[in-house]
Amino acid sequence: MGKTRANRAVRTPGGLSVRLDVRALTVVVLLLVAALAASVVLIGTGDFPIAAGDVLRTLLGDGNAGQEFIVNELRLPRVLVGLLVGASLGLGGALFQALSRNPLGSPDILGLGQGATAGALLVIVLFSGNATQVTVGALAGGLGAGLAIYLLAWKRGVHGYRLVLVGIGMSAIMTAVNGYLLTKADLVDAARAVVWMTGSLSGRDWAQVWPLLALCAVLVPLVLGNARGLRMMEMGDDVSYALGVRVERVRLLLMLSAVLLTAAATAAAGPVSFVALTAPQLARRLTRSPGPNLLPSLCMGATLLVAADWVSQRVFGADQMPVGVVTGVLGGVYLLWLLVIERKAGRI
């Protein structure tokens, strides 16, 4: 006989009963601790190293003037953008994989990142836009790609494999568009566009933190509040309807949330690849829990991106590698491993 999962039911005074998965909750707590610890270490990393204890004292308002400037103005915004971007990509990836019922159904594969990149490139190449305009262009491009994928995949509802196939086609189209835009750009704009397309946290400040934080503050509770409906939908639309889930309404709401999260993350840091693909898979392997694992995926994404940023700064010395390159290399290796596992299991 298999082992019984450690679940506990918590009852509130109002009679509401909530089931807690102890292992999943433990994984979430450990990932949060790891993300915070990595953030403290990352804040202390740089040309002017600061010990972890001094970083904590500075964050609590007890550092000297030099430490407060370096920590609060230079490094803290970068780390916060990394945490928020990683969390957004992890949650967005978990949503798409659950909605498509496919481990490859992530924004990287479906073309949302490429759509956001196309929007940003249009602003850079055609209008030589500033940072704010590039951000708006990336958001518009991601939303446009998401809307096109949804409409093209619609046929009496949106189903998993059709969504993935349409997304792969959209990704190919957007990649071609991006290549064309680069060929039409002048040298300065092309160089600027290529730097943005690598995905980087360098130079990020509070102007990128607040919009992304506000978006996450709205969308994360909204997504988690619909987690039950998403889990019911994994059993099929007919069963979900029978259980009282308004399937298409929930699917559209969650897809819109996933597109917004992905587009906002891309707008803030550029197209950081493979975090949305790997975070939900790693979270599921840690929790060993069925279902979308939304909160563990969010925490895993934040941890992965901060850890990758630390690697980009420490391993390559003075020649700091953009975090998008690090996640691309690690994510590509993981994707190959995932494909081998899926093939051995006879699923592809």
In the chain, DSSP assigns E strands to: 7-11, 17-21
**Do the beta carbons of residue 136 and residue 72 sit within 8 Å?**
no
Q: What is the pLDDT of residues 215-231, one digit of tens each?
A: 999 999 999 988 887 88
Residue with tokens 């949060």: 32
Q: Please check the confidence at residue 115 and state whether its pLDDT lies above 80.
A: yes
Whole-number pLDDT of residue 1:
40
Mean pLDDT of the chain: 83
Q: Which class is 26-65+73-345 in CATH?
A: mainly alpha
Q: Please check the confidence at residue 111 and state whether its pLDDT lies above 70.
A: yes
Q: What is the pLDDT of residues 153-202, one digit of tens each?
A: 777 666 667 777 888 888 889 889 888 888 888 888 788 788 778 888 88
The residues, any chain, with a CB within 8 Å of residue 300's CB and separated by 6 or more, are: 31, 90, 279, 280, 282, 283, 286
Say how far apart CA 41 and CA 34 lie, in whole Å: 11
Q: What is the 3-state secondary structure (H, E, C) of 229-243?
A: HHHHHCCCHHHHHHC
Q: Which residue has the higher pLDDT, 82 or 242?
A: 82
Which 8-state DSSP code applies to residue 3? Answer: P
Percent of the chain with pLDDT over 70: 87
Q: Where are the domains of the chain?
A: 26-65+73-345
* Listed residue (149, 133, 139, 62) closest to 99, CA to CA: 149
Which 8-state DSSP code applies to residue 8? Answer: E
pLDDT band of residue 2 (cuts 50, 70, 90) is: very low
Q: Please check the confidence at residue 107 and state whether its pLDDT lies above 60.
A: yes
Whether the predicted model's global pTM rises above the 0.85 cut:
yes
Say how far apart CA 110 and CA 164 lie, in whole Å: 6
> In this structure, are strands 7-11 and 17-21 parallel, antiparallel, or unpaired?
antiparallel
**Do the beta carbons of residue 210 and residue 280 sit within 8 Å?**
no
3-class SS of residue 205: coil
> Quick one: how many helices (H) and strands (E) in the chain?
16, 2
Whole-number pLDDT of residue 16:
46
Burial of 257 (0-12, 13-18, 19+ CB in 10 A): buried
Whole-number pLDDT of residue 317:
58
| Mean pLDDT of all residues in 115-136 | 84
Q: Please check the confidence at residue 3 and state whether its pLDDT lies above 70.
A: no
The residues, any chain, with a CB within 8 Å of residue 333's CB and separated by 6 or more, are: none
**Do the beta carbons of residue 89 and residue 273 sit within 8 Å?**
no
Whole-number pLDDT of residue 192:
77
Residue with tokens 């934040």: 302
Q: What is the pLDDT of residues 53-95, one digit of tens each?
A: 888 998 888 878 888 888 888 899 999 999 999 999 999 999 9
Q: Which two tokens stand for residue 1?
A: 């006989």
Residue with tokens 């946290």: 201
Which region among 5-14, 30-39, 49-58 has the lowest average model confidence (pLDDT)?
Answer: 5-14
pLDDT band of residue 103 (cuts 50, 70, 90) is: confident
Q: Please check the confidence at residue 248 and state whether its pLDDT lies above 50.
A: yes
Whole-number pLDDT of residue 4:
45
Whole-number pLDDT of residue 60:
87
Instruction: Return the exposure string of 280-311: e unless at least 16 CB atoms fall within 10 Å of the residue's CB, then b.
Output: bbbbbebbebebbbbbbbbbbbbbbbbbbbbb
Which 8-state DSSP code applies to residue 63? Answer: S
Most confident among 140-149, 192-201, 232-241 (mean pLDDT): 140-149
Paired with 155 in beta bridges are none
Say how far apart CA 247 and CA 180 lie, in whole Å: 39
Whole-number pLDDT of residue 257:
92
Q: What is the pLDDT of residues 275-331, one digit of tens each?
A: 998 899 899 889 888 778 899 999 999 999 999 998 888 776 555 678 888 888 888
pLDDT band of residue 236 (cuts 50, 70, 90) is: low
